[in-house]
Amino acid sequence: MRSALPSIPTGAHDCDLWVAEVAALTRPDRVVWYYDTPDERAALLAQSVADGKLIKLDPNRRPGSYLARSDAGDVARVEARTFICSESEADAGPTNNWRDPQSMRTELAARFAGAMRGRTMFVVPFSMGVADSSLARYGLQVTDSAYAALSMGMMTRVSRDVRTRIDEGAHWVPTVHSVGAPLADDDTDTTWPSNTDKYIAHFPETREVWSYGSGYGGNALLAKKCFALRIASVLGRDEGWLAEHMLLVRLTSPEGRPFHIAAAFPSACGKTNLSMLQPTLPGWKVETLGDDIVWMRPGGDGRMWAINPEAGFFGVAPGTGPGTNPVATQMIERDTIFTNVALTPERDVWWEGLSPAPAELTDWQGQPWQPGAGTPAAHPNSRFTVSASACPLIADEYFSGRAVPLDAILFGGRRATTTPLVVEAYNWDHGVFMGATMASEQTAAAEGTVGRVRRDPFAMLPFCGYNMADYWEHWLTISEQLDPAQAPRIFQVNWFRRGESGDFLWPGFGDNARVLAWICRRVAGQVSASSSPVGMLPTLDDLDVEGLDLTDEARDQLLAVNGADWAAETSSIDKWFNGFDGHVPTRILEQLEQLAQRLTAVHESGAKTVAGR
């Protein structure tokens, strides 16, 4: 048996040799190339149901759809076990878990040795982006999880054509996944095999990903966070583009002008809802381009051009319903894999926020559940996986792979106080400062204390493949390739601000179009804004709130900049920057100094708050 990880592929034609070496290490019972053809998919789904790994839902209620239940200890990203194995520890930076690459390769070799015994090793060739797009990148995922192979067929573009391109010389990223649960001849398999010992290891210099022990989400679908963000962010740094944790939409105004907006939000903070927005403002139209990842590159015309490299949605189920996201609710009516939601007696799915709770359910762990049980029927991070082609609002670019020109970039998160409903950056450097200092109340999408406020710069804290402060420098450098008059304008939004009673001040959901409309009007030069210490705020007359039940006090609070709150915020940012050991770009430190100066000027004027007027 091999005692080391397979050699790193160095040539365009090495994929077969590499696959053979992975198989020699992991010792599967058989190796299957999986191309996600209709016949292959149907056979793998049927086998997964027969093996007890998937529950087939009622075809009359939810055709082509299935339910998976994970182990209770395998329900989210495992950030504490996610490693960046760069040659230099400084290149990983203080926000990543660094491990020496040679030591990690030795440690992983011991874990992967025989890890697939008794299982099938699926080899999945995939493309991020339409295969012939200029921004497309290719990869191979090796996995012993049928659930992961099926999900990769929905989240990426899996095909024989991709393998052909790799065989003909296209560069590709090798990714290896095992649930870490080998089977002896007399072992009975579990419905969700996994291992308490978990690794999600990235090797930036060699562009590799190795994941062991988890079968869930981004831990197992290695094209998603691992490749499309952590490895791709390094590719972008080296090649002059950006890989971002962002949604991508096109808004068309009543006058027929299109605007393309990318927006960064931490996981479970409303990206999917915003990407499928149904505007409450008459005449505005939204088309969906993506809900989670954007790759963007400066073009020769001085604009920023963007694609969504994914082919599907991996959305949070709880809170998704006809009242919050009718488009997503329609999208998942068929051909969807659900994970860790509840099951009705009629073999349909249910979760909190979908509809009133049925009288009885089977919860996400397979136990009887009734309203008032004291625990949620669906796990807070339960998910749906579905092809983007099922989205009623999907834009044509999903099929063509054409990039779109960005007009605006948004940063957001959950903040009960401090951050206004919307604020525009004074310039690109100020916008990068906004992104670098993003903070949000943590959700169930990652391990940690739900509700705790943490810094999540660019919503990339768990996903940047190199030193976060150097990543900010890369953003600043990118601006040198943009025409200032054509570059995307940068804004910060906060749908989650609360009043003194604790209630949300802003209705959110479809009414977020009112904020986006103001942003588009700002890009078009049609509305004004007023200066504040933190950026440019809407005037109350220009933010269309007609028909909303907002008091004057609520409107003021939504746009208020509280001096005491921002003094504390500035101090917190200063401490945050001190943790980067001198890597924070000078231009970002200058933005912090300018913020402090603007706050001091307001304080000396005697004002406690500033609001747009």
Q: What is the pLDDT of residue 453?
A: 82
Query: What burial letters (b/e) apply to 281-294, b meaning 16+ CB within 10 Å?
Result: beebbbbbbbbbbb
Instruction: Give tens-digit pLDDT for 7-52.
Output: 887 655 589 999 999 999 999 999 999 999 999 999 999 999 999 9
Identify the active-site residue in 85, 226, 269, 464.
269
Residue 330 burial (10 A CB sphere; 0-12, 13-18, 19+): middle
Q: Taking a C-beta distance cutoff of 8 angstroms, is the pair 67, 361 a contact?
A: no
Task: Give pLDDT tens digits for 211-232.
Answer: 999 999 999 999 999 999 999 9
Query: Are the CB atoms for 75 and 378 separated by under 8 Å?
Result: no
**CB of 101 within 8 A of CB of 209?**
no
For 218, the token pair is: 């981004």
Cα Dmax for the chain: 78
Residue 520's SS3 state is: helix
62-75 burial string, b = 16+ CB within 10 Å, else e?
beebbbbbbbeebb
DSSP state of 43: H
| 3-class SS shares of the chain: helix, strand, coil, % to 5 | 30, 25, 45
Nearest to 406 by CA among 461, 482, 335, 473: 482
- Cα gap 508→497, rounded to integer Å: 10
What's the rounded Cα separation, in Å, for the pair 100 and 466? 14
Domains of the chain (ranges; CATH) run 15-48+78-239 (3.40.449.10), 243-310+399-610 (3.90.228.20), 313-390 (2.170.8.10)
Decide: 260 and 284 in contact? Cβ < 8 Å.
no
User: For residue 134, what pLDDT is reported?
Assistant: 83
- What is residue 269's predicted lDDT score, i.e. its pLDDT? 80
């697939």: which residue's tokens?
A: 116
* Residue whose structure tokens are 């990235």: 202
391 is catalytic: no
Tokens of 79: 């950030």
How far is 198 from 75, CA to CA, in rounded Å? 13
Q: Is 13 exposed, middle or buried (0-12, 13-18, 19+ CB in 10 A)?
A: exposed
Residues of the chain with confidence (pLDDT) below 50 = 613
In this predicted structure, what is the pLDDT of residue 13? 54
Q: What is the pLDDT of residue 596?
A: 97
d(CA 70, CA 326): 27
pTM of the model: 0.95
Token pair 């996981």 in the structure block, residue? 267
Q: Tell which phi-psi region holds residue 187, choosing left (phi > 0), alpha (psi between -120 and 50) or beta.
A: beta
d(CA 104, CA 115): 16
- Whole-number pLDDT of residue 613: 44
CA–CA gap between residue 196 and residue 77 (Å, rounded): 13
For residue 9, count other CB atoms closer than 10 A to its CB: 22
The DSSP letter of residue 394 is: B
Q: 498: Cβ–Cβ under 8 A, 6 or more apart, which residues?
A: 416, 417, 504, 505
